[in-house]
A and B are shown apart, each in its own frame.
Chain A
Amino acid sequence: MSDPWQAAFAQFQIWGKYPQNQRDHVLRSWISELPSHIEHLKLSSEAQQAIDEICLCGEYFCTLAELNFNMQTLTGITGERNELHFHGKGIFTVGELDQTKPSLCNFTRLINLTVAALLCGNSVLLHYIHPLEKWQKCLLISLSKSLPNDLLQLTSRLDWLQMNRHSRLTGVAFIEHSKPNETAQFRRLLSQRTGPIICQVSVSHQASLEQVFHPECLLPFISETCISQNCTAIGGNIELLSR
């Protein structure tokens, strides 16, 4: 495999600058086409439920992003234009702390976290070590194909802890361990990193779907840039006098 970090970073730089509407469009298209990608498969009711949940969350995330993350013009001083732009933070790793046995619920939540991170303009290294069922493979392939190459990378070979020590990492989205100490230990590990303080998004597997993915669940995945432009005459523009 070529350096997944470099590829992820290169993709983030492009994807992160897409307007929010465009990212919404990509993910909404994937959600709407997802049933057609798996229609040839025989699904268990649990699997169908998981897919429904992924679609529900994805739609919801898109709605939230559309509502909140389009550029905002901020009221201010005459002769200045202030805009607040929202975009991705960088590369997120997504994974579960307890990797002892596969769980459909965890898989679903990992996909939800992945979609949330992607929708906000990040690239994602999804860590999942368990064997995938056919529908899971189909789902991941279709998601990956609907996105620019390497924006989403699935890895089982890389070591989860090593991944979270990487200097290019900007955020971790993870499912907490059932043992709180293990989760605490992981967080301590993250705090030992040198360089920027990274974003941690954790999901408890005990909480309900609605509680985990609440109306502000996308905010940790988002980064803001404020652009202030002087519009007075000597500032280079001349809008004030033409009002």
Chain B
Amino acid sequence: MLSVDDYFSPTSVDLDLDTLWQNIADNYLTEEHHLVKQLQYYASISSWEMSKTTHLAATIVGKIRADHHHTNLTEAFLQEYHLSSQEGMMLMCLAEALMRIPDPETADALIRDKLTHSDWSSHLQHSDSFLVNASTWGLLLTGRITPLDNPPQSVKQTIKSLVSSLTEPIVRKALNHAMRLMAHQFVMGQNITNALQQGLKYANDSRFRNKPHLNFDMLGETAITSEAAQHCLGTYIQGIHHIAKHNQQNQRQDSLSIKLSALHPRFAPSQSQRVLTELKDNLLQLLALAKNLNVAVTLDAEESERLDLSLQVFKEVFQTTNLMGWGQLGVAVQAYSKRALSVLAWLTALAKKHHTPIQIRLVKGAYWDSEIKNSQHLGLVNYPVFTSKPATDINYLCCARYLLSGHVRPHLQAQFATHNAHTVAAIEVMANGQDIEFQKLLGMGEALYHHHPQPHLRVYAPVGSYQRLLPYLVRRLLENSANSSFLSAIANKNVPMSELIEHPVDQYFASHHTSHSGFPLPADIFGSVRKNSVGINFACSRTLAHWQQRIAPYFDEQYISGPIIDGEAVFLNAEGDIHLAGRTHKEVVKPYQLDEVIGKQIEASQEDINQSCTVALNGFHLWSQTSIELRASLLNKLADKLELQAPKLTAMCMMEAGKTLFDAHNELRKAVDYCRYYASQGLSLFHQVPVSMPSLTPIHWRRKGQGVWVCISPCSAPLDLFVGQICAALVCGNTVIAKPAPQSSLIAYQVIKLMLSIGFPPYAIQLLSGADTVAEQLTQQANLAGIAVTGRLTTAQNIQQACYRSAAPFAKLIAETSGVNCMLVDSTALHVQVVKDALRSAFSAAGQRCSSLRILCVQDDVADSIIKQLSDAMIELAVGNPEQIHQDIGPIINKETWLQLQQYLNHLNNNARLIRQTPLHHDLNGYFIAPSLYEIEQISDIRGESFGPILHVLRYEKHQLPNLIRQINQMGHARTCAIYSRNQTTINQLVSQLQMGNIYVNNCQTDAAIGCQPFGGKGLSGTGPKSGGPTYLTAFSQLEPY
């Protein structure tokens, strides 16, 4: 791995491109503090430079603070309503959502929700800006109907009375207008023609001593449909034509920014092959046009998981002969990314190799919060971005120095995007008189560049409808109004000048003395209680390739499963050979390749069942006498071992259960999390001193196991629920007889072998493989303490009845059954988010999870738009052999379910309206079901549980929502429900009315995190307690008085 010093060596430009590419991957999740220590020298190379920078920064800040007139509305607004205030947050939410709401009723409700719950009076007379000083956002906007200089009663009262039924239409109109005003600050025009006209006026404004150039950004988020991608391509082409003409007519050098994810509906690492083929042609067409018309183009930076792919696409187009020597193609590089410097080094070498300079826009980065959340969710070894603002600033300065270095300048032409006076000062000092270009966002940093004009300034100017602006606007507002941002700080008079001009190196080292003094690493988010499971960064092409290599050998092996009793595989003879005489067995095939046998499953006999019960019963006393520390340590050991065996178990999960690599690995991670969570919970529970009933004779309690537990797990979660159930029972001191689903017993067999190998005593855990009849026979055995079953409701009911056929006392039953899960979407929801999450919730793991989405309920006002996007996005799903990395959806796990689903589809074809069915390849040889979307009229059109990729969509009118909730509750399947809304009042109401085990708000409903999102339903969906939650282990243990 190259060091930071290596990049600054003039010979670095001659390094091999492949080496530099590898180095980008090396830095993906590199350790932050170590990297910052390397970077610090280049951010503050000498005390002379530092003091000169500080002096210049102080001058700029002094001028800005002294000028009370130049602050624009946006900046004044941000000053008053920064993010640390509740009101600031409310307004951000309102700004993000209001304009996309088509129906007045919902818009009014959102306004009520956001405006009436905050303390607006605290903002009175705070701002120097007349507009903001109108007192509050609400009063500002409704100023025409309420005299501003004579506020009646309190502001809170005023707002409450304003937002009443009589004045709602006026308030709504006013707020919409205000949001447009706000948006206008950030958007140059609603189309390119308009934007160019406005841009010309803007550039000619007297506030700029030197006319700034403009860089137009066609607003729009990631495309999820081909239609959206095509539309975007057309917009870009049109944009290039117009900008070129405009440049020619007005002697300007305005340019264009392109977002690659807007040009392809599947711009994701798993689809790299498809993207590189399909996107390349479109992009080349676009860039050839730009070159011919001499319009500079910059590829925008996006989420870190897309960086690899973006750079690959960039390289592909950059090295085509068409674009050689052009020099007007550029890339945005994010300084909050730990890979920024290595990316720059790679780009330098690329530019040098092709004798064509590359334009670099150095930005700080705008996806910080989702990067942090995503990294923790994925359990990455570290973050791809710096976790503190000073670290990002240090990296920015270091990258700036690199870009200004003599050996780099001929190859990379830098544009520094910043609104921070200290950064501007530092770069100017570094540049030492060299020509440099700065960039700013439209609507931001006005005062900075007014008081410190630059000869070369480019303004990033969004173009598009105000509705499209929303996600962009929120990101910008967040970025710039976050407490740590310069704009927020300079506006805050309580922040002293010394703080504003403090060098980021000093800031960083004042608070970061060690590697982990800042944000906890993804592995450490649960503190000292337990480790988060290790995830794989599949977004990194090198990691992905490496992983594919690691799992590949396991696809060629043959596996076996059969009863393991008292530590022995009963079907093996003394020599270890398989001995099948008299035993029922069957071959196991891949559900996606029916002619490929992957192993053999040997069914447990009645004798095996009896024997396993005897061993487990006899072993209980011994096992329950072991210390909780020992049992917990074994669980932790199992977690570590599962992680070590991840490639094999992941491959098996793919083969036997037909899961994709991502789903299979996710399953493994959950199994690991279950082990660690129950280990920590067990320790805490067994050490807890329960509160006894006050009585004359004090009672002391000892916690202990209950006896033999039978754990019956489903095929939909062959690893995580299998491991979760048995670990919960074992850690409490019970012995366990595990009965995995017949469709996933090979994996179960591997897990039990693993458990035995790490020291679980043979009497503690027995495995009985085989058909459902084995479970029924097993549960009729006498003297069982409990049965934990996860599966269909009918399975659980059969098991309960079987259990009650035995002699009393009967075993305790914990049943986790499936649900008919809903997603409720109102018209405030962000459509793209809804569509993405609906696709994932309904179709990932082929819709076979008990939490999978079944009914998407959409408010009629936005239903057409959402259904269309969803339907179009479904065309882009890849269904097929999950061993191929680009496949999104694998097969149904077994033939019976597949046949049931086919029948159910026939039922739907006669009783519902088919909207979309994802096309399937004709040569598939497995239990594949095409992801299907049907529109239904009412909830009752659904027939029971269907474990497959079938999504029903139901429209509702706003006034029908209470009735819809009633119908959902009446179904009795109380498993999960997701709510997508921006209205907290609506959310609270729905949360209180829905009778569900798990409710997700603006969050995907299928990825319950162990320990954070205890999982389980009620009514027809289960008995409780929730697995992965604080009460689960109490069901497996008992308190004994002594």
**A positions within 8 Å CB-CB of B:** 17, 56-57, 60, 63-64, 67, 72, 74-80, 82, 84, 89, 170, 180-181, 183-184, 187-188, 191-192, 194-197, 199, 209-211, 213-216, 219, 222-230, 232-243
Contact = CB atoms under 8 A, between A and B. Distances in A.
Interface stretch (B236-244, B471-479, B722-730): B471-479
Contacts of A181: 808
Contacts, number: 209
B695 interface: yes
Interface stretch (B60-68, B902-910, B1001-1009): B1001-1009
Q: Closest 5 interchain pairs by CB?
A: A76-B1012, A215-B690, A79-B373, A242-B83, A184-B808
Contact of A215 (B529, B691, B1025): B691
A228 B1029 contact: no
Contacts of B369: 79, 232-233, 238, 240-241
A226 B1026 contact: yes
B1034 interface: yes
A75 B1001 contact: no
A223 B1024 contact: yes
Contacts of A79: 369-370, 372-373, 376
Given A78-B525, A197-B800, A236 B693 contact: no
B373 A80 contact: yes
Given A170-B1019, A233-B370, 18 more contacts: A67-B691, A74-B1014, A76-B525, A76-B1012, A82-B1009, A84-B1030, A181-B808, A188-B804, A195-B1020, A215-B1039, A222-B1031, A223-B1024, A227-B1001, A228-B1003, A234-B474, A235-B1002, A238-B369, A238-B478
B869 interface: no
Interface in B796-815: 796-797, 800-801, 803-804, 807-808, 810, 813, 815
Contacts of B368: 240-241
B996 interface: yes
Contacts of B800: 191, 197
A191 B801 contact: yes
A224 B482 contact: no
Contact of A238 (B89, B377, B1020): B89
29 contacts: A57-B693, A60-B693, A63-B691, A74-B1011, A78-B376, A89-B1018, A184-B810, A187-B808, A191-B803, A191-B804, A210-B692, A216-B1039, A222-B1024, A224-B997, A224-B1014, A225-B996, A227-B998, A228-B998, A229-B1000, A230-B1003, A234-B370, A236-B830, A236-B981, A236-B1002, A238-B89, A240-B369, A241-B478, A241-B482, A242-B482
A17, A210, A242: most-surrounded residue (chain B CB, <10 A): A242
Nearest to B973: A196
B446 to A, nearest CB: 22
B475 to A, nearest CB: 6
Contact of B370 (A57, A67, A84, A232): A232
B1032 to A, nearest CB: 10
Given A180-B808, A199-B1023, A226 B999 contact: yes
B496 interface: no
B377, B810, B1002: most-surrounded residue (chain A CB, <10 A): B1002
B691 A234 contact: no
B545 interface: no
A17 B992 contact: yes
Contact of A223 (B88, B804, B1018): B1018
B502 to A, nearest CB: 20
Contacts of B373: 77-80, 232, 240
Contacts of A226: 997-999, 1008, 1013-1015, 1026, 1029
Interface residues of B, number: 84
B692 A219 contact: no
Contact of A187 (B797, B804, B830, B1002): B804
A63 B690 CA distance: 12
B509 interface: no
B699 interface: yes
Contacts of B701: 214-215
Contacts of A170: 1019
B855 to A, nearest CB: 19
B691 A64 contact: yes
Contacts of B560: none
Nearest to A190: B804
A238 B92 contact: yes
Given A238-B92, A238-B93, A75 B1024 contact: no
Contacts of B992: 17
A60 B694 CA distance: 8
Interface in B678-722: 690-695, 699, 701
B693 A197 contact: no
Nearest to A72: B1030
Contact of B997 (A75, A180, A225): A225
A234 B1018 contact: no
A199 B982 CA distance: 37
B972 A195 contact: yes
B944 to A, nearest CB: 13
B1012 A211 contact: no
A89, A191, A228: most-surrounded residue (chain B CB, <10 A): A228
Nearest to B520: A78
B527 interface: yes
A237 B690 CA distance: 39
Nearest to B972: A196
B789 to A, nearest CB: 10
Given A187-B808, A214-B701, A237-B89, A196 B1014 contact: no
A58 B807 CA distance: 35
A197 to B, nearest CB: 5
Contacts of B93: 236-238
A216 B1008 CA distance: 26
Given A56-B693, A74-B1011, A74-B1013, A183 B1001 contact: no
A194 to B, nearest CB: 8
A90 to B, nearest CB: 8
B1034 A216 contact: yes
A67 B1023 CA distance: 23
B1031 A234 contact: no
A211 B1041 contact: yes
Nearest to A235: B1002
B1026 A230 contact: no
B479, B796, B804: most-surrounded residue (chain A CB, <10 A): B804
A180 B808 CA distance: 8
Nearest to A69: B1031
